[in-house]
Structure 1
Amino acid sequence: MAQRIDLDGTTVELRRSARRRRTIQARREGQVVVVMLPTGMTAAEELRWARTMVARMRRQQERRRPPVGDEALEARAEQLAREHLDPVVGHPVRPVSVRWVTNQNHRWGSCTPSEGTIRLSHRLQQMPDWVVDHVLLHELAHLVEPHHTERFHELAGRTPHAERAAGYLEGWSAADGGAPGGDEIDGD
């Protein structure tokens, strides 16, 4: 048996099943969010679960953003360099190219300072912008200081959420079965 309700502009169809014992699931069917529930719940419990599942789906949708192309990534790199590196080093820091790659599954990014090229793992495309910015600035800092020196770390840590982003990546790596130290940002 199914019932449709409106939750803050979202059409929700409640589907009850006697075979369903404990689990509650939701999926989208066109413009309708279908919430599958076990029978025997009170109307208040059903409404609470419907709101919970719609909120989860909205959060998931907000986290999914369209992938940013290489051109936009390069523009972002230039902006980060202008804001965080140029004033400190006294000259423009510009890569020759910045692009997404699919062959980096054990590192988040890499830089070849002698060629001025930066590559970021496509896995970063599903992460928040402030995490991508952290990895991008890390790689940009290699254009100034190729090795992980004290000066390098001072340059690479200039994004507002550097420490938080490093923790995010470490947590992601641990959850993904990565090495205890997390994925590498680059291969130095």
Structure 2
Amino acid sequence: MPVDPLHSAARPPRSAPSPHSRGPENHAVEVRRSARRRRTVSAYREGDRTVVLIPARMSDAEEQRWVTVMLDKLAAQESRRMLGDAELAERAGRLSEQYLDGRARPDSVRWVTNQNTRWGSCTPAEGSIRLSHRLQGMPEYVVDYVLLHELAHLLVPGHGPAFWRLLEAYPRTERARGYLEGVVAAERLPHLPAARSE
């Protein structure tokens, strides 16, 4: 997917808090740089603010990338409660009403454990949608995107222009696709150092 280039400006390290953009759940984001931090990144909620702690030497581009990663990680932790099949079906109904004018009406929506190479699937002839259990615990906007993706397939087979037009109304399509692509890329790495607190 296309990624907007980020300008990386050289600047001296600082340990003072720096204001950042607002997070996906309307939390203000504050980035705190520390000269004592060498490689680790951590984040936590502080009231209505999200604090992201990073090494002072990080570039602007690295800061932006890590803020996004940590916001997604916190969102996933906060949505750990797993939806049951009935709740998933209700959610699909709401998404269809909101983004597809209620035209996509699946007969069944459920979690499955036998989909390890794709996030979701649907069988239009049966009106059934299946989501991979690997999505459980991911941020809600990612699960919603996959649900909408499969709902759109009930209306349009394939991934042509008409299909993608159906998803244009969902504001987090590109962000969700980027999140899932990141998960796939991470799974292919031989070793992924975990971010940890200092």
Q: Distance in 2 between matches of 1:140 and 1:117?
A: 9
Post-superposition offset of 1:60: 9.0
Contact 2:121 2:150 in 1 (8 A): yes
Say whether 1:68 aligns with 2:79: no
Residues 62 and 113 (structure 1), Cα distance of their counterparts in 2 relative to 1, 3 Å cut: same
Say whether 1:128 aligns with 2:139: yes
Say whether 1:141 aligns with 2:156: no
Q: Distance in 2 between matches of 1:134 and 1:154?
A: 14
Contact 1:84 1:159 in 2 (8 A): yes
The letter for the 1-side match of 2:128 is T
Say whether 1:160 aligns with 2:171: yes
Which 4+ runs in 1 deviate beyond 3 A? 59-64
Select the structure with the greater relative contact order (CA < 8 A; seq sep ≥ 6). 2
Larger radius of gyration: 1
Count of aligned pairs between the two proteins: 116
The letter for the 2-side match of 1:98 is V
Extract unaligned runs of 5+ from structure 2. 1-73, 190-198
TM-score (norm 2): 0.55
Extract unaligned runs of 5+ from structure 1. 1-58, 179-188
* Residue number in structure 1 paired with 2:57: none
Q: Distance in 2 between matches of 1:85 and 1:60?
A: 26
TM-score (norm 1): 0.58
Output the aligned Cα RMSD. Answer: 1.9
Q: Distance in 2 between matches of 1:164 and 1:61?
A: 14
Q: Distance in 2 between matches of 1:157 and 1:104?
A: 26
Residues 126 and 147 (structure 1), Cα distance of their counterparts in 2 relative to 1, 3 Å cut: same
* Residue number in structure 1 paired with 2:181: 170
